[in-house]
Amino acid sequence: MKLLVKVGIGLGMVAAAVGIGLLVGRLLVPPIDTGAAQVEAADSHGEGGETPKEAHGEKAGDGKKAYEFGAVHPIPDLIINPKGSSGRRVFKISLSLEYDPANPALAKELEERTPFMRDYLLNTLGGMTEDSLSNISYREAMRDSLRTALNRYLSAGTVDRVLFQDFIRQ
């Protein structure tokens, strides 16, 4: 009987410690903003008056892309110190932005706006935790969120895809 009481008290203490740990974790660690809600809203309404397919380089009627592979604008060597890493971890992320190759005005605008987009990327990615950046299951949502945000810098067209070229953790 005494053993049963001790086991019950021990299990109760473990459950309380886990509950307190989860509560403290929720309070201290901000939720990860994957931008999924923004992406869904933008995709359902279309950007710039386009249908979602047109916004991704597809023609409205037949569902075929106007191009197989788009032109790419590189944004190389983003060095990221993740939030909470105290400089112990570094990520090197290089990405490319795919866009309609038939839009030379967009190519010029991407070139001109790169410093602003780099600043946004450094601040946004640097505000994420190491776990968020390392977790591959967040990668697609991160891609979509970044695409949506970077398109806000552009008026001559839209980025169709964000392509990760390097994603290195050290």
pLDDT in tens, 105-144: 999 999 999 999 999 999 999 999 998 898 888 899 999 9
Q: What percent of the chain has pLDDT over 70?
A: 62
Residue 103: its pLDDT value, please? 94
54 pLDDT higher than 60 = no
49 and 97 co-located in one domain:
yes
Residue 36: pLDDT band by 50, 70, 90 thresholds? very low
pLDDT average, residue stretch 24-39: 45
Q: What percent of the chain has pLDDT over 90?
A: 45
**Which of 25-39, 83-97, 116-130 is predicted least confidently?**
25-39
Residue in 78, 144, 53, 70 with CA at minimum distance from that of residue 107: 70
- In this prediction the pTM is 0.61
Residue 86: its pLDDT value, please? 83
Q: Range of 82's domain?
A: 34-169
63 and 110 co-located in one domain:
yes
pLDDT average, residue stretch 87-91: 88
12 and 64 co-located in one domain:
no
CATH number at residue 131: 3.30.479.30
The count of structural domains within the chain is 2
DSSP, res 88: S
For residue 2, the SS3 value is helix
4 and 63 co-located in one domain:
no
Burial class (CB in 10 A: 0-12, 13-18, 19+), 12: exposed
DSSP, res 137: G
Q: How far apart are CA 91 and CA 38, in angstroms?
A: 25
